[in-house]
Structure 1
Amino acid sequence: MDRFIRFLQTLDYMRMVLGICILIDGSPLIFFFRETLKLAPGSTTFTAAALAGGLVLMVPFTLFRRLYRPNMSMFWMGIGFLFLSIFYMYVYLGDPGFKDYTKDMIYYAYIFIFLFLLINIPNDILRVFVPVVILFTLVSNLGLIYSLMTNPTWAIGQRATITLGDNDEGSGNPHAFARNAFMGAVACAIWALRPQTGIIFRLVCLFSGLLSVAILVLTQTRSSVLALLVALVFFMIYNVRPTQIKMAVRGIFKPVPIITIILGIVGVIIFFQRFSDTYGILYSYVLAFAERNLENIYALLGLKVKGAAYKATLDASAANRSVSATFLTNVLVGHLYMLILGFGYKFLYLDIPILESLTNTGLLGFVLFAGVNAKAFYHVQKIMRTNPNPMSTFLAYFYMLILVTLFTNGRPNEISFWFPLALMIRFIGIEHLFPAYLSDPKPIKETDEYVVIPNAQPA
């Protein structure tokens, strides 16, 4: 009976995590159902309904009866920035043609409801969070592949995305699919490296992780690729020590890891033999990605490429950030006083969120927005060192994507920022408040393998 009750509790926790995934990473599946399956092409109402469905799935049976403590300093800074943005929207508008009051207020309402529900959700979702993320991202990746295979307007060489509405060929939002792939790769790596993970699910992690990396390459999004590299660097810094290397080598030469590696290699070989063009496609994407980024570097240095008659040029995204940097330089030189209050709500799209929080909402907005991210980064470093539980570890490495996008794309008041930040506010930096049974057992250190007991005097 106890086992059955625990099974029902697990299903209930998985329901809540599924709702969180829809809010954090629901765009790929929403686009799949909306555009690929033609349930509601181009409908923002369908998207809003799907997000509302995610909120409904998050509602716990203990709603209003039990609240859980978030990271309070991050909580108040985050709430402060959101209220400041709403205040600026109605009182200090920077865009004279702005009319989307209702639309933006709906976004803010979703953020507040999401954060409120997170405070009501029990900490016990930690034990099922990462597996649900793995399955959710896998289904989303498979949906993208199906969409690409059935889309006659998509050709190899284009960025992997789902065409939205009746837009031009290849239009869409590759950043949403890159985020999904990044989350899948990180979650699979974390769960596959756990000693407690069974061989079947370890193989699922291997397949899903490789698929996520392939999707990440196909989307050709610099921010996600850079975030994955940054996450890998932090993983090497905090986890690759002589002791860890010894333990990893010892762990490899055991039956289950050896079988897993062999099956994984055989699976990859069979896959590339069955789909012989896949390797060439991925290689061409990597080469094109590298050439495009090198051209941006050449352009910034004023160099010429592809012959003397051709001068390197910035792509649209990099060029926009270059213009933003020029604008900020002009402000610092001649209009520094304007940064006290800022230029107003959505005055200018800089494509650099951390700077836009300063130019649009002034010093107070910058301090609040930068403060909540600085606190998150501080706690993330501690989590990477200690790896207290799989969910906290996943959030720590997931934050690397948020960290990179702070300087690369988006706006500081978008839901794409604040849904993940709300998750950080709820679960980051409060690991000491979690019950002990939710923490992973610590690996035995070399100095802990034996204990020297002094000779005792006979009684």
Structure 2
Amino acid sequence: MSGLIRFLQTLDYMRLVLGICILVDGYPLIFFFRETLKLAPGSTAFTAAALAGGLVLMVPFTLFRRLYRPNITMLGLGVGFLLLCIFYMYVYMGDPGFKDYTKDMIYYTYIFIFIFLLINIPNDIIRVFIPVVILFTFISNLGLIYSLMTNPTWALGQRATITLGDNDEGSGNPHAFARNAFMGLVACAIWLVRPQTGVIFRLFALFAGILNLAILILTQTRSGILAMLIALAFFMFYNVRPAQIRMAVRGIFRPIPIITIILGFVGVVIFFQKFSDTYGILYSYVLAFAERNLENVYALLGLKAKGAAYQATLDASAANRSVSANFFSNVLSGHLYMLILGYGYKFLYLDVPVMEALTNHGILGFVFFGGLNGLIFYHILTIMRTNPNPLSTFLAYFYMLILVTLFTNGRPNEIAFWFPLALMIRFIGVEHLFPTYLSNHPTAADGTDQYVVVPNNQAS
């Protein structure tokens, strides 16, 4: 009977994590059902309904009866910024033509509900969080692959994304699929290095990880690839020691590793000889990615490219951030006083969220938004070093993508930021409060599980 109860509890925890995945990473599947399967092309109502469905899945059976302790300081900073945004929206509008009050309030409502539900969700979801993320991102990747294969306007060399509505071919939101791939890659890596993972699940995680890496490359998003490199650098710094490197190098020059390397090299050569188009595709992706980024560098330096008669130009996103940087520089040099209160809600889309938090919402907005992210970064460095539990480790490396996008993409009040940030508020910096059996190092945990309980309810 106890085994059946534990099984049902596991299914319930998986339901809760599935709801979290829909909110944090639901857009790839939403786009698949909405655009590829033509259930509701271009419908924002469908997207809102899908996100609402995720919130419903997150409702625990202990709702209102058991509240788990988040990071209180981070919660205060996050809620403070959100309330400041709502206040500015109604009192200090920076965009005179703004009319989307209802739409933005729905977004803020979703964020507050998500935060509240996270505080109700038990810490025991840590047990199933990584497997559910792996499965969810894998299914999302399959949806993208199916969409690309059935889209006659897409060809290899274009960015991997699902065309939205009746837009031109190749249009869409590749950043959503890059986030999905990045999340899946991090989760697969954690599951692969976990000693308790069985052989079958380890092989599946390896396959899913390779697929995530391929999708991340196909999306051609600079922020995703840069975040992956930063995450890899942090992993090497905290987990690889000089003695391990020396041992690995010595281990390579043994008979079995040498034979394995030779067979692997021969296998790769045979593969590319048999499928020569694959090499050409990979080469074209790398070359196109390098050319696009080098041209941005040339343009910033005022240099020429592709011959003396060709003046390098910035692409659209880089050009927008360049204009934003010039605007911010002008503010600093001649209108510094405007940064006290900011220019108002959605005054200007800078495409640099941390800069926009200061420009549009003033010093207080910057303190709230920048302080929250600074505190998260402080805690994730400790998590990368100590590896307390799978969920905290996942959030620490996942935050690398959020960190990069703070300076490269989006707005500080978008739900694409705040759903992940809400996860950080709930689970980052409070690892010492989790029960011992959820820790990767049981002897180092104190075994307490902090929450607020309504009278006559006891801890599980």
TM-score (norm 1): 0.91
Alignment of 1:293-442 (within 5 A): 293-441=293-441
**Aligned partners of 1:50, 1:205: CA distance in 2, in Å?**
27
SS at structure 1 position matched to 2:314: coil
- CA-CA distance at 1:278 after TM superposition: 3.3
SS at structure 2 position matched to 1:135: helix
Give the conservation status (yes or no) of the 8 Å contact 1:203–1:264: no
- CA-CA distance at 1:277 after TM superposition: 3.1
SS at structure 2 position matched to 1:161: coil
Alignment of 1:100-179 (within 5 A): 100-179=100-179
Which amino acid counterpart does residue 9 of structure 2 have in structure 1?
Q
Give the conservation status (yes or no) of the 8 Å contact 2:436–2:442: no
TM-superposition CA deviations, 1:57-97 (whole Å, max 9, x none): 10000000000000000000000000000000000000000
SS at structure 2 position matched to 1:67: strand
2:12 is the alignment partner of 1:12:
yes
Cα separation, partners in 2 of 1:37 and 1:360, compared to 1, 3 Å:
same
TM-superposition CA deviations, 1:28-70 (whole Å, max 9, x none): 0000011111111111111101000000110000000000000
- The size of the alignment, in residue pairs, is 439
Unpaired runs of at least 5, structure 1 = 445-459
- CA-CA distance at 1:301 after TM superposition: 1.0
**Aligned partners of 2:360, 2:147: CA distance in 1, in Å?**
38
- CA-CA distance at 1:242 after TM superposition: 3.8
Cα separation, partners in 2 of 1:50 and 1:248, compared to 1, 3 Å:
farther
Which amino acid counterpart does residue 3 of structure 2 have in structure 1?
R
Give the conservation status (yes or no) of the 8 Å contact 2:141–2:215: yes
TM-superposition CA deviations, 1:197-254 (whole Å, max 9, x none): 11111111111111111111111110111101110111111111145558989999xx
**Aligned partners of 1:186, 1:132: CA distance in 2, in Å?**
13
Which amino acid counterpart does residue 50 of structure 1 have in structure 2?
A
2:66: which partner in 1?
Answer: 66
Give the conservation status (yes or no) of the 8 Å contact 1:343–1:361: yes
Cα separation, partners in 2 of 1:266 and 1:67, compared to 1, 3 Å:
farther
Cα separation, partners in 2 of 1:275 and 1:105, compared to 1, 3 Å:
farther
Moved over 2 A (4+): 242-252, 260-280, 441-444
- CA-CA distance at 1:280 after TM superposition: 2.7
**Aligned partners of 1:65, 1:262: CA distance in 2, in Å?**
61
**Aligned partners of 1:146, 1:266: CA distance in 2, in Å?**
32
**Aligned partners of 1:60, 1:251: CA distance in 2, in Å?**
50
**Aligned partners of 2:6, 2:314: CA distance in 1, in Å?**
56
Cα separation, partners in 2 of 1:362 and 1:125, compared to 1, 3 Å:
same
Cα separation, partners in 2 of 1:201 and 1:345, compared to 1, 3 Å:
same
Cα separation, partners in 2 of 1:143 and 1:300, compared to 1, 3 Å:
same
- CA-CA distance at 1:24 after TM superposition: 0.2
1:204: which partner in 2?
Answer: 204
Cα separation, partners in 2 of 1:353 and 1:234, compared to 1, 3 Å:
same
**Aligned partners of 2:64, 2:222: CA distance in 1, in Å?**
42
1:448: which partner in 2?
Answer: none
1:46: which partner in 2?
Answer: 46
Which amino acid counterpart does residue 190 of structure 1 have in structure 2?
I
- CA-CA distance at 1:390 after TM superposition: 0.9
SS at structure 1 position matched to 2:135: helix
2:447: which partner in 1?
Answer: none
1:83: which partner in 2?
Answer: 83
Which amino acid counterpart does residue 207 of structure 1 have in structure 2?
F
**Aligned partners of 2:374, 2:270: CA distance in 1, in Å?**
45
Unpaired runs of at least 5, structure 2 = 445-460
Which amino acid counterpart does residue 72 of structure 2 have in structure 1?
M
- CA-CA distance at 1:267 after TM superposition: 10
- CA-CA distance at 1:271 after TM superposition: 8.2
Cα separation, partners in 2 of 1:295 and 1:61, compared to 1, 3 Å:
same
**Aligned partners of 1:365, 1:332: CA distance in 2, in Å?**
17
**Aligned partners of 2:57, 2:443: CA distance in 1, in Å?**
36
SS at structure 1 position matched to 2:66: coil
2:450: which partner in 1?
Answer: none
**Aligned partners of 1:272, 1:35: CA distance in 2, in Å?**
35
**C-alpha RMSD of the superposition:** 2.6
**Aligned partners of 1:428, 1:80: CA distance in 2, in Å?**
18
Cα separation, partners in 2 of 1:271 and 1:419, compared to 1, 3 Å:
farther
TM-superposition CA deviations, 1:308-335 (whole Å, max 9, x none): 1111111111010000000001101110
- CA-CA distance at 1:403 after TM superposition: 0.3
Cα separation, partners in 2 of 1:270 and 1:197, compared to 1, 3 Å:
farther
Give the fraction of aligned pairs with identical amino acids, expressed as a percent: 82
**Aligned partners of 2:104, 2:25: CA distance in 1, in Å?**
20
Which amino acid counterpart does residue 307 of structure 2 have in structure 1?
G
Which amino acid counterpart does residue 338 of structure 2 have in structure 1?
M
2:55: which partner in 1?
Answer: 55
TM-superposition CA deviations, 1:114-169 (whole Å, max 9, x none): 00000000000001101110111011111101100000011121111000011111
**Aligned partners of 2:83, 2:397: CA distance in 1, in Å?**
28
Which amino acid counterpart does residue 81 of structure 2 have in structure 1?
F
Cα separation, partners in 2 of 1:200 and 1:148, compared to 1, 3 Å:
same
- CA-CA distance at 1:441 after TM superposition: 3.5
Cα separation, partners in 2 of 1:192 and 1:92, compared to 1, 3 Å:
same
SS at structure 2 position matched to 1:429: coil
SS at structure 2 position matched to 1:348: coil
**Aligned partners of 2:247, 2:441: CA distance in 1, in Å?**
15
Which amino acid counterpart does residue 178 of structure 1 have in structure 2?
A
